[in-house]
Amino acid sequence: MESRLYDASRYGDITSLMELIREDPLIFERVINGFGETPLHISAMCGHVDFAAEILRIKPELASEVDPKGLCPLHMASARKSFEMVSVLVDADPNVCVATDQHGRTPLHLAAIKNQVQNMKLLIETKPEAIKILLNRGETILHFCVKHGSFEALMLLVEFVGLNEGWVSVNSMDDDGNTILHLAVSRRQTKMIGHLLNNNLGVDINALNKNGFTALDILITQSLKEFEDKEIEAQLRYAGALSAVEQVRTTTEDDGETILITTVRSSNVGSNVTSEYDTSPMKVKYEGREDWLTDKQNVLIVVVVLIATMAFQAGFSPPGGVWQEDSKLNSSTDPDIFLYYAQKTLSFDYIDSTLLNLLKSSNNTKMNQFGPVPDDGLVLEDEWTSIISNYTGFYPYLIRYAGTSILAYKSPMIFGIYIISNTVGLLASLSIILLLLTGLAFKRKIIVWILMVIMWTTITCVAVSYLIAIFSMIPPFNIGNQIFNWMLGGWLVFVAFIFLLHILWFFSWYFKKLGST
Protein backbone atom coordinates (compact mmCIF):
# COMPACT_ATOMS: atom_id res chain seq x y z
CA MET A 1 0.00 0.00 0.00
CA GLU A 2 2.86 2.35 0.75
CA SER A 3 4.22 1.83 -2.74
CA ARG A 4 0.83 2.85 -4.14
CA LEU A 5 0.94 5.97 -1.99
CA TYR A 6 4.38 6.91 -3.29
CA ASP A 7 3.26 6.30 -6.87
CA ALA A 8 0.29 8.58 -6.31
CA SER A 9 2.63 11.22 -4.84
CA ARG A 10 4.97 10.97 -7.79
CA TYR A 11 2.19 11.48 -10.33
CA GLY A 12 0.06 13.86 -8.23
CA ASP A 13 -2.94 11.51 -8.39
CA ILE A 14 -5.41 12.91 -5.85
CA THR A 15 -8.05 10.28 -6.70
CA SER A 16 -5.69 7.46 -5.80
CA LEU A 17 -4.71 9.31 -2.64
CA MET A 18 -8.29 9.57 -1.43
CA GLU A 19 -8.90 5.91 -2.24
CA LEU A 20 -5.85 4.88 -0.20
CA ILE A 21 -7.00 6.98 2.75
CA ARG A 22 -10.40 5.30 2.65
CA GLU A 23 -8.72 1.91 2.65
CA ASP A 24 -6.34 2.81 5.47
CA PRO A 25 -7.05 5.99 7.45
CA LEU A 26 -3.74 5.56 9.35
CA ILE A 27 -1.57 5.37 6.28
CA PHE A 28 0.11 8.72 6.97
CA GLU A 29 1.02 7.64 10.51
CA ARG A 30 2.85 4.64 9.14
CA VAL A 31 4.63 6.83 6.62
CA ILE A 32 5.83 9.21 9.33
CA ASN A 33 7.20 6.34 11.39
CA GLY A 34 9.06 4.98 8.38
CA PHE A 35 11.95 7.45 8.82
CA GLY A 36 12.17 8.17 5.10
CA GLU A 37 10.78 10.62 2.58
CA THR A 38 7.12 11.33 3.07
CA PRO A 39 4.60 11.66 0.22
CA LEU A 40 4.78 15.41 0.81
CA HIS A 41 8.54 15.37 0.12
CA ILE A 42 7.92 13.60 -3.16
CA SER A 43 5.07 15.84 -4.27
CA ALA A 44 7.09 18.95 -3.31
CA MET A 45 10.02 17.68 -5.32
CA CYS A 46 7.80 16.90 -8.31
CA GLY A 47 5.86 20.15 -8.11
CA HIS A 48 2.34 18.74 -7.62
CA VAL A 49 0.80 21.71 -5.79
CA ASP A 50 -2.79 20.47 -5.53
CA PHE A 51 -1.67 17.07 -4.31
CA ALA A 52 0.55 18.67 -1.65
CA ALA A 53 -2.29 20.96 -0.55
CA GLU A 54 -4.58 17.95 -0.13
CA ILE A 55 -1.99 16.12 1.97
CA LEU A 56 -1.51 19.19 4.17
CA ARG A 57 -5.27 19.53 4.60
CA ILE A 58 -5.38 15.99 5.92
CA LYS A 59 -2.04 15.89 7.76
CA PRO A 60 -0.57 19.44 8.19
CA GLU A 61 2.23 18.24 10.48
CA LEU A 62 3.88 16.57 7.48
CA ALA A 63 5.15 20.03 6.53
CA SER A 64 7.76 19.83 9.28
CA GLU A 65 8.80 16.20 8.76
CA VAL A 66 12.38 15.71 7.66
CA ASP A 67 14.08 12.99 5.67
CA PRO A 68 17.33 11.25 6.72
CA LYS A 69 19.31 14.25 5.40
CA GLY A 70 17.37 16.68 7.54
CA LEU A 71 15.46 18.11 4.58
CA CYS A 72 11.85 19.13 5.01
CA PRO A 73 9.48 19.45 2.02
CA LEU A 74 10.07 23.21 1.93
CA HIS A 75 13.79 22.65 1.38
CA MET A 76 13.01 20.70 -1.77
CA ALA A 77 10.39 23.12 -3.02
CA SER A 78 12.52 26.21 -2.41
CA ALA A 79 15.22 25.05 -4.80
CA ARG A 80 12.65 24.61 -7.56
CA LYS A 81 10.93 27.21 -9.67
CA SER A 82 7.61 26.59 -7.96
CA PHE A 83 6.43 29.63 -6.07
CA GLU A 84 2.95 28.18 -5.54
CA MET A 85 4.36 25.09 -3.85
CA VAL A 86 6.51 27.23 -1.56
CA SER A 87 3.46 29.33 -0.67
CA VAL A 88 1.41 26.26 0.21
CA LEU A 89 4.13 24.84 2.45
CA VAL A 90 4.86 28.17 4.15
CA ASP A 91 1.16 28.72 4.87
CA ALA A 92 0.96 25.26 6.41
CA ASP A 93 3.84 25.90 8.83
CA PRO A 94 5.80 29.19 8.72
CA ASN A 95 8.37 27.84 11.18
CA VAL A 96 9.84 25.51 8.57
CA CYS A 97 11.39 28.62 6.99
CA VAL A 98 14.11 28.42 9.64
CA ALA A 99 14.42 24.63 9.70
CA THR A 100 17.96 23.46 9.03
CA ASP A 101 19.25 20.31 7.38
CA GLN A 102 22.25 18.30 8.53
CA HIS A 103 24.54 20.94 6.99
CA GLY A 104 22.82 23.81 8.76
CA ARG A 105 21.09 25.09 5.62
CA THR A 106 17.60 26.57 5.67
CA PRO A 107 15.18 26.57 2.71
CA LEU A 108 16.44 30.11 2.06
CA HIS A 109 19.94 28.75 1.50
CA LEU A 110 18.75 26.19 -1.02
CA ALA A 111 16.68 28.80 -2.83
CA ALA A 112 19.79 31.00 -2.97
CA ILE A 113 21.86 28.25 -4.60
CA LYS A 114 19.44 28.17 -7.53
CA ASN A 115 18.85 31.94 -7.60
CA GLN A 116 15.14 31.44 -6.92
CA VAL A 117 14.62 35.09 -6.06
CA GLN A 118 10.82 34.94 -5.89
CA ASN A 119 10.93 32.06 -3.43
CA MET A 120 13.57 33.89 -1.40
CA LYS A 121 11.40 37.00 -1.10
CA LEU A 122 8.53 34.94 0.31
CA LEU A 123 10.78 33.13 2.76
CA ILE A 124 12.35 36.39 3.96
CA GLU A 125 8.97 38.07 4.36
CA THR A 126 7.73 35.12 6.38
CA LYS A 127 10.80 34.60 8.57
CA PRO A 128 13.40 37.39 8.18
CA GLU A 129 15.49 35.85 10.94
CA ALA A 130 16.46 33.07 8.51
CA ILE A 131 19.08 35.47 7.18
CA LYS A 132 20.83 35.48 10.56
CA ILE A 133 21.43 31.73 10.63
CA LEU A 134 25.12 30.94 10.26
CA LEU A 135 26.63 27.91 8.62
CA ASN A 136 29.79 26.02 9.49
CA ARG A 137 32.82 28.22 10.20
CA GLY A 138 30.56 31.20 10.80
CA GLU A 139 29.56 31.72 7.18
CA THR A 140 26.58 33.99 6.59
CA ILE A 141 24.12 33.43 3.81
CA LEU A 142 25.98 36.17 1.91
CA HIS A 143 29.16 34.08 2.05
CA PHE A 144 27.07 31.12 0.95
CA CYS A 145 25.84 32.99 -2.14
CA VAL A 146 29.37 33.99 -3.12
CA LYS A 147 30.68 30.44 -2.74
CA HIS A 148 27.95 29.14 -5.03
CA GLY A 149 28.12 32.00 -7.52
CA SER A 150 24.50 33.01 -6.90
CA PHE A 151 24.61 36.59 -8.14
CA GLU A 152 20.88 37.38 -8.25
CA ALA A 153 20.38 35.93 -4.78
CA LEU A 154 23.28 37.98 -3.44
CA MET A 155 21.86 41.20 -4.90
CA LEU A 156 18.52 40.56 -3.19
CA LEU A 157 20.10 39.78 0.17
CA VAL A 158 22.54 42.70 0.04
CA GLU A 159 19.65 45.06 -0.64
CA PHE A 160 17.68 43.62 2.27
CA VAL A 161 20.51 43.74 4.83
CA GLY A 162 21.36 47.26 3.68
CA LEU A 163 17.89 48.39 4.70
CA ASN A 164 17.98 46.54 8.03
CA GLU A 165 20.90 47.65 10.17
CA GLY A 166 21.95 45.26 12.88
CA TRP A 167 21.36 42.25 10.65
CA VAL A 168 24.00 40.42 8.73
CA SER A 169 26.00 42.99 6.75
CA VAL A 170 28.19 43.04 3.69
CA ASN A 171 31.16 43.33 6.05
CA SER A 172 30.27 40.32 8.19
CA MET A 173 33.20 37.95 8.61
CA ASP A 174 33.41 34.20 8.85
CA ASP A 175 35.60 32.38 11.36
CA ASP A 176 38.67 33.15 9.21
CA GLY A 177 37.86 36.84 9.13
CA ASN A 178 36.92 36.81 5.46
CA THR A 179 34.23 39.15 4.20
CA ILE A 180 32.21 38.41 1.09
CA LEU A 181 34.62 40.63 -0.85
CA HIS A 182 37.51 38.40 0.22
CA LEU A 183 35.63 35.35 -1.02
CA ALA A 184 34.49 36.99 -4.24
CA VAL A 185 38.05 37.98 -5.10
CA SER A 186 39.42 34.57 -4.14
CA ARG A 187 36.87 32.86 -6.40
CA ARG A 188 37.24 35.43 -9.20
CA GLN A 189 33.54 36.35 -9.10
CA THR A 190 34.03 39.39 -11.34
CA LYS A 191 30.36 40.29 -11.59
CA MET A 192 29.86 40.14 -7.84
CA ILE A 193 32.98 42.19 -7.20
CA GLY A 194 31.74 44.90 -9.54
CA HIS A 195 28.36 44.98 -7.82
CA LEU A 196 29.89 45.21 -4.36
CA LEU A 197 32.29 47.99 -5.32
CA ASN A 198 30.14 50.17 -7.53
CA ASN A 199 26.81 50.51 -5.72
CA ASN A 200 27.66 52.36 -2.49
CA LEU A 201 26.83 49.34 -0.36
CA GLY A 202 29.21 50.29 2.42
CA VAL A 203 31.68 47.51 1.70
CA ASP A 204 34.91 47.79 3.67
CA ILE A 205 37.28 47.37 0.75
CA ASN A 206 40.40 47.18 2.91
CA ALA A 207 39.13 44.89 5.66
CA LEU A 208 41.79 42.53 7.02
CA ASN A 209 41.05 38.87 7.61
CA LYS A 210 42.67 36.90 10.43
CA ASN A 211 45.72 36.27 8.29
CA GLY A 212 46.23 39.99 7.83
CA PHE A 213 45.20 40.05 4.18
CA THR A 214 42.97 42.48 2.36
CA ALA A 215 41.00 41.42 -0.70
CA LEU A 216 43.75 42.92 -2.86
CA ASP A 217 46.37 40.85 -1.01
CA ILE A 218 44.44 37.69 -1.79
CA LEU A 219 44.31 38.59 -5.47
CA ILE A 220 48.04 39.34 -5.61
CA THR A 221 48.97 36.21 -3.67
CA GLN A 222 46.82 33.85 -5.71
CA SER A 223 47.06 35.70 -9.00
CA LEU A 224 47.81 33.73 -12.17
CA LYS A 225 48.12 37.04 -14.03
CA GLU A 226 45.26 36.18 -16.33
CA PHE A 227 43.32 38.96 -18.03
CA GLU A 228 40.53 38.41 -15.51
CA ASP A 229 42.95 39.07 -12.65
CA LYS A 230 44.03 42.32 -14.26
CA GLU A 231 40.41 43.39 -14.58
CA ILE A 232 39.69 42.59 -10.94
CA GLU A 233 42.80 44.41 -9.76
CA ALA A 234 41.79 47.46 -11.79
CA GLN A 235 38.34 47.41 -10.18
CA LEU A 236 39.79 47.16 -6.70
CA ARG A 237 42.40 49.85 -7.26
CA TYR A 238 39.82 52.21 -8.73
CA ALA A 239 37.62 51.70 -5.67
CA GLY A 240 40.54 52.53 -3.38
CA ALA A 241 41.71 49.06 -2.38
CA LEU A 242 45.12 48.75 -0.74
CA SER A 243 47.31 45.88 0.28
CA ALA A 244 48.04 45.32 3.96
CA VAL A 245 51.58 46.66 3.52
CA GLU A 246 50.32 49.79 1.81
CA GLN A 247 47.87 50.44 4.62
CA VAL A 248 50.50 50.38 7.35
CA ARG A 249 53.21 52.19 5.44
CA THR A 250 54.43 55.20 7.39
CA THR A 251 57.54 56.54 5.71
CA THR A 252 59.00 56.32 2.25
CA GLU A 253 62.73 56.78 1.82
CA ASP A 254 64.77 57.79 -1.21
CA ASP A 255 63.19 56.56 -4.42
CA GLY A 256 60.46 54.54 -2.76
CA GLU A 257 62.21 51.18 -2.85
CA THR A 258 63.08 51.12 0.88
CA ILE A 259 60.27 52.01 3.28
CA LEU A 260 59.67 52.11 7.01
CA ILE A 261 56.59 50.12 7.95
CA THR A 262 54.86 48.36 10.80
CA THR A 263 55.26 44.72 9.89
CA VAL A 264 52.27 42.42 9.68
CA ARG A 265 53.26 38.81 10.29
CA SER A 266 50.81 36.26 9.00
CA SER A 267 50.61 32.75 7.75
CA ASN A 268 49.78 31.75 4.21
CA VAL A 269 46.39 32.38 2.68
CA GLY A 270 43.90 29.75 3.68
CA SER A 271 45.47 28.84 7.04
CA ASN A 272 43.47 29.33 10.19
CA VAL A 273 46.25 30.71 12.36
CA THR A 274 45.43 34.09 13.85
CA SER A 275 47.70 36.79 12.49
CA GLU A 276 50.14 38.48 14.84
CA TYR A 277 51.12 42.12 14.71
CA ASP A 278 54.63 43.33 15.42
CA THR A 279 54.44 46.97 16.44
CA SER A 280 58.20 47.53 16.32
CA PRO A 281 59.11 49.41 13.13
CA MET A 282 61.74 47.90 10.90
CA LYS A 283 63.14 48.55 7.48
CA VAL A 284 62.18 46.12 4.80
CA LYS A 285 62.93 45.99 1.16
CA TYR A 286 59.83 47.16 -0.59
CA GLU A 287 59.65 45.71 -4.02
CA GLY A 288 57.56 48.47 -5.47
CA ARG A 289 57.78 46.92 -8.90
CA GLU A 290 56.76 43.35 -8.16
CA ASP A 291 54.02 43.60 -10.73
CA TRP A 292 56.60 44.75 -13.28
CA LEU A 293 58.72 41.68 -12.62
CA THR A 294 55.73 39.36 -12.89
CA ASP A 295 54.62 41.00 -16.11
CA LYS A 296 58.10 40.56 -17.53
CA GLN A 297 58.01 36.91 -16.57
CA ASN A 298 54.68 36.38 -18.29
CA VAL A 299 55.87 38.09 -21.47
CA LEU A 300 59.12 36.13 -21.48
CA ILE A 301 57.50 32.74 -20.99
CA VAL A 302 55.04 33.34 -23.82
CA VAL A 303 57.66 34.65 -26.22
CA VAL A 304 60.27 31.99 -25.54
CA VAL A 305 57.77 29.18 -25.89
CA LEU A 306 56.72 30.56 -29.27
CA ILE A 307 60.34 30.99 -30.36
CA ALA A 308 61.29 27.51 -29.19
CA THR A 309 58.36 26.07 -31.13
CA MET A 310 59.29 27.98 -34.28
CA ALA A 311 62.97 27.06 -33.99
CA PHE A 312 62.16 23.41 -33.46
CA GLN A 313 59.93 23.34 -36.53
CA ALA A 314 62.46 25.30 -38.59
CA GLY A 315 65.16 22.77 -37.74
CA PHE A 316 63.16 19.99 -39.33
CA SER A 317 61.91 22.13 -42.21
CA PRO A 318 64.93 24.01 -43.63
CA PRO A 319 64.39 26.49 -46.49
CA GLY A 320 63.90 24.65 -49.77
CA GLY A 321 63.07 21.39 -48.02
CA VAL A 322 65.08 18.16 -48.18
CA TRP A 323 65.90 15.64 -50.86
CA GLN A 324 63.15 13.07 -50.98
CA GLU A 325 65.33 10.20 -52.21
CA ASP A 326 68.97 9.37 -52.87
CA SER A 327 70.18 10.67 -56.22
CA LYS A 328 73.47 10.86 -58.10
CA LEU A 329 74.38 13.98 -60.04
CA ASN A 330 76.76 12.87 -62.79
CA SER A 331 79.02 15.29 -64.64
CA SER A 332 78.51 13.38 -67.87
CA THR A 333 74.74 13.79 -68.02
CA ASP A 334 74.23 17.16 -66.25
CA PRO A 335 77.54 19.02 -66.53
CA ASP A 336 76.13 22.50 -65.83
CA ILE A 337 74.18 21.46 -62.74
CA PHE A 338 77.11 19.35 -61.58
CA LEU A 339 79.48 22.30 -61.88
CA TYR A 340 77.04 24.52 -59.95
CA TYR A 341 76.73 22.14 -57.02
CA ALA A 342 80.42 21.16 -57.13
CA GLN A 343 81.48 24.79 -56.90
CA LYS A 344 79.18 25.36 -53.92
CA THR A 345 80.19 22.13 -52.25
CA LEU A 346 83.93 22.62 -52.64
CA SER A 347 83.75 25.88 -50.71
CA PHE A 348 83.21 23.87 -47.50
CA ASP A 349 85.66 21.57 -45.77
CA TYR A 350 83.38 18.78 -44.71
CA ILE A 351 83.12 17.12 -48.17
CA ASP A 352 85.43 14.13 -47.93
CA SER A 353 86.18 13.05 -51.48
CA THR A 354 89.69 12.45 -52.83
CA LEU A 355 88.78 13.61 -56.29
CA LEU A 356 86.98 16.77 -55.23
CA ASN A 357 89.55 17.70 -52.62
CA LEU A 358 92.21 17.41 -55.31
CA LEU A 359 90.20 19.71 -57.53
CA LYS A 360 89.86 22.18 -54.65
CA SER A 361 93.57 22.23 -53.78
CA SER A 362 94.99 22.17 -57.32
CA ASN A 363 96.74 25.33 -58.52
CA ASN A 364 96.07 24.53 -62.17
CA THR A 365 92.49 23.37 -61.98
CA LYS A 366 89.77 26.02 -62.08
CA MET A 367 86.08 25.47 -62.32
CA ASN A 368 85.81 27.56 -65.46
CA GLN A 369 88.30 25.26 -67.20
CA PHE A 370 85.63 22.60 -67.61
CA GLY A 371 84.73 22.69 -71.25
CA PRO A 372 81.87 21.23 -73.25
CA VAL A 373 81.20 17.59 -72.56
CA PRO A 374 82.35 15.33 -75.44
CA ASP A 375 81.01 11.88 -76.11
CA ASP A 376 83.62 10.24 -73.93
CA GLY A 377 82.78 12.36 -70.86
CA LEU A 378 83.94 15.43 -68.99
CA VAL A 379 87.27 17.00 -69.93
CA LEU A 380 89.68 16.57 -67.01
CA GLU A 381 92.96 18.20 -66.07
CA ASP A 382 96.23 16.29 -65.75
CA GLU A 383 95.87 15.91 -61.98
CA TRP A 384 92.58 14.13 -62.47
CA THR A 385 93.88 11.88 -65.22
CA SER A 386 96.63 10.44 -63.05
CA ILE A 387 94.06 9.33 -60.51
CA ILE A 388 91.32 7.86 -62.68
CA SER A 389 93.34 6.63 -65.64
CA ASN A 390 92.78 3.06 -64.53
CA TYR A 391 89.00 3.44 -64.52
CA THR A 392 87.42 3.38 -67.94
CA GLY A 393 84.36 5.55 -68.36
CA PHE A 394 84.64 7.22 -64.93
CA TYR A 395 83.08 10.66 -64.49
CA PRO A 396 82.99 12.83 -61.35
CA TYR A 397 79.64 12.85 -59.58
CA LEU A 398 77.92 14.04 -56.42
CA ILE A 399 75.56 12.00 -54.25
CA ARG A 400 72.55 13.74 -52.73
CA TYR A 401 71.23 11.72 -49.82
CA ALA A 402 67.55 11.51 -48.93
CA GLY A 403 66.59 13.63 -45.93
CA THR A 404 69.49 16.07 -46.33
CA SER A 405 68.84 19.75 -46.87
CA ILE A 406 68.72 21.07 -50.43
CA LEU A 407 70.08 24.39 -49.17
CA ALA A 408 73.15 22.58 -47.81
CA TYR A 409 74.06 21.59 -51.38
CA LYS A 410 73.00 24.84 -52.96
CA SER A 411 74.65 27.24 -50.47
CA PRO A 412 76.58 25.39 -47.76
CA MET A 413 77.80 28.55 -46.07
CA ILE A 414 74.31 30.05 -45.90
CA PHE A 415 72.97 26.75 -44.61
CA GLY A 416 75.64 26.65 -41.91
CA ILE A 417 74.70 30.14 -40.72
CA TYR A 418 71.03 29.14 -40.76
CA ILE A 419 71.62 26.04 -38.65
CA ILE A 420 73.83 27.85 -36.15
CA SER A 421 71.40 30.75 -35.79
CA ASN A 422 68.38 28.49 -35.46
CA THR A 423 70.11 26.23 -32.93
CA VAL A 424 71.27 29.16 -30.80
CA GLY A 425 67.73 30.53 -30.81
CA LEU A 426 66.29 27.17 -29.74
CA LEU A 427 68.82 26.51 -26.98
CA ALA A 428 68.57 30.07 -25.66
CA SER A 429 64.78 29.78 -25.53
CA LEU A 430 64.94 26.47 -23.70
CA SER A 431 67.45 27.93 -21.25
CA ILE A 432 65.13 30.82 -20.45
CA ILE A 433 62.20 28.43 -20.00
CA LEU A 434 64.29 26.34 -17.61
CA LEU A 435 65.25 29.39 -15.56
CA LEU A 436 61.66 30.57 -15.38
CA LEU A 437 60.37 27.16 -14.31
CA THR A 438 62.96 26.82 -11.56
CA GLY A 439 61.88 30.14 -10.07
CA LEU A 440 65.43 31.48 -9.90
CA ALA A 441 65.06 33.99 -12.71
CA PHE A 442 63.27 36.77 -10.83
CA LYS A 443 64.95 36.69 -7.46
CA ARG A 444 67.05 39.70 -8.49
CA LYS A 445 66.40 42.42 -11.00
CA ILE A 446 69.87 41.92 -12.44
CA ILE A 447 68.83 38.40 -13.43
CA VAL A 448 65.88 39.89 -15.27
CA TRP A 449 68.19 42.04 -17.34
CA ILE A 450 70.46 39.09 -18.08
CA LEU A 451 67.42 37.21 -19.29
CA MET A 452 66.47 40.15 -21.46
CA VAL A 453 69.92 40.12 -23.08
CA ILE A 454 69.50 36.42 -23.80
CA MET A 455 66.09 37.26 -25.18
CA TRP A 456 67.57 39.83 -27.56
CA THR A 457 70.05 37.23 -28.76
CA THR A 458 67.25 34.76 -29.28
CA ILE A 459 65.12 37.23 -31.22
CA THR A 460 68.12 38.19 -33.34
CA CYS A 461 68.76 34.56 -34.16
CA VAL A 462 65.14 34.10 -35.18
CA ALA A 463 65.34 37.19 -37.38
CA VAL A 464 68.56 35.97 -39.02
CA SER A 465 67.01 32.56 -39.65
CA TYR A 466 64.01 34.19 -41.27
CA LEU A 467 66.11 36.48 -43.44
CA ILE A 468 68.25 33.55 -44.57
CA ALA A 469 65.12 31.63 -45.48
CA ILE A 470 63.95 34.57 -47.57
CA PHE A 471 67.40 35.06 -49.09
CA SER A 472 67.56 31.43 -50.19
CA MET A 473 64.38 31.91 -52.21
CA ILE A 474 65.54 35.07 -54.04
CA PRO A 475 67.16 34.44 -57.45
CA PRO A 476 70.62 36.04 -57.83
CA PHE A 477 69.43 38.32 -60.62
CA ASN A 478 66.52 39.69 -58.58
CA ILE A 479 66.83 43.20 -57.16
CA GLY A 480 65.33 41.86 -53.94
CA ASN A 481 68.71 40.35 -53.19
CA GLN A 482 70.19 43.80 -52.66
CA ILE A 483 67.22 44.94 -50.62
CA PHE A 484 67.67 41.88 -48.44
CA ASN A 485 71.26 42.87 -47.70
CA TRP A 486 70.12 46.33 -46.64
CA MET A 487 67.45 44.87 -44.40
CA LEU A 488 69.87 42.48 -42.72
CA GLY A 489 72.45 45.20 -42.19
CA GLY A 490 69.86 47.59 -40.80
CA TRP A 491 68.54 44.98 -38.39
CA LEU A 492 72.00 44.13 -37.08
CA VAL A 493 72.84 47.82 -36.60
CA PHE A 494 69.57 48.37 -34.74
CA VAL A 495 70.14 45.42 -32.41
CA ALA A 496 73.72 46.48 -31.76
CA PHE A 497 72.56 50.01 -30.95
CA ILE A 498 69.91 48.82 -28.48
CA PHE A 499 72.36 46.39 -26.91
CA LEU A 500 74.95 49.15 -26.51
CA LEU A 501 72.41 51.46 -24.86
CA HIS A 502 71.52 48.82 -22.31
CA ILE A 503 75.15 48.03 -21.63
CA LEU A 504 75.78 51.72 -20.93
CA TRP A 505 72.67 51.87 -18.74
CA PHE A 506 73.79 48.80 -16.82
CA PHE A 507 77.24 50.18 -16.07
CA SER A 508 75.72 53.52 -15.10
CA TRP A 509 73.33 51.79 -12.72
CA TYR A 510 76.08 49.55 -11.34
CA PHE A 511 78.51 52.36 -10.57
CA LYS A 512 75.71 54.45 -9.07
CA LYS A 513 74.77 51.53 -6.86
CA LEU A 514 78.40 50.95 -5.95
CA GLY A 515 78.83 54.60 -5.03
CA SER A 516 75.71 54.67 -2.87
CA THR A 517 76.89 51.68 -0.84
Mean per-residue pLDDT over the chain, rounded: 76
Neighbours of 465 (CB within 10 A): 26
Residue 258 lies in a domain: no
Q: Are residues 15 and 116 in the same domain?
A: yes
Residues 171 and 158: their CA atoms lie apart, in Å, by 11
Residue 485 lies in a domain: yes
Residues 274 and 266: their CA atoms lie apart, in Å, by 8
Q: Are residues 308 and 453 in the same domain?
A: yes
Q: Are residues 79 and 115 in the same domain?
A: yes
Is pLDDT at 34 greater than 70 in this prediction? no
**For the segment 193-245, what is each residue's pLDDT rounded down to a tens digit?**
999 998 888 899 999 999 889 999 888 887 656 677 888 888 898 888 888 88
Task: Examine the fold and report which residue of 133, 150, 181 is the final residue of a domain before the chain moves on.
Answer: 133
pLDDT band at 293 (very low <50, low <70, confident <90, very high): low
* Average pLDDT over every residue of 157-183: 89
Q: Are 176 and 210 in contact (CB under 8 A)?
A: yes
Q: Are residues 347 and 475 in the same domain?
A: no
Q: Are residues 310 and 377 in the same domain?
A: no
By C-alpha distance, which of 377, 375, 364 is closest to 338? 377
Residue 123 lies in a domain: yes
Task: Examine the fold and report which residue of 400, 429, 454 is the final residue of a domain before the chain moves on.
Answer: 400
Q: What is the extent of the structural domain holding 87?
A: 2-133
Q: How many residues does the chain have?
A: 517
Report DSSP state, residue 351: -
Q: Are residues 388 and 419 in the same domain?
A: no
Residue 231 lies in a domain: no
Beta-sheet strands, E only, within 195-345: 249-253, 258-265, 276-285, 327-330
Which carries the bigger pLDDT value, residue 103 or residue 247? 103
Q: Is the pTM of this model over 0.85?
A: no
**For the segment 454-501, what is each residue's pLDDT rounded down to a tens digit?**
888 888 888 888 888 877 777 766 655 667 678 777 877 887 888 788
Residues 223 and 231: their CA atoms lie apart, in Å, by 12
Residues 110 and 116: their CA atoms lie apart, in Å, by 9
Classify 285 as helix, strand or coil.
strand
Q: Are residues 121 and 17 in the same domain?
A: yes
Task: Examine the fold and report which residue of 400, 425, 453 is the final residue of a domain before the chain moves on.
Answer: 400
Number of domains in the chain: 3
Residues 262 and 138: their CA atoms lie apart, in Å, by 30
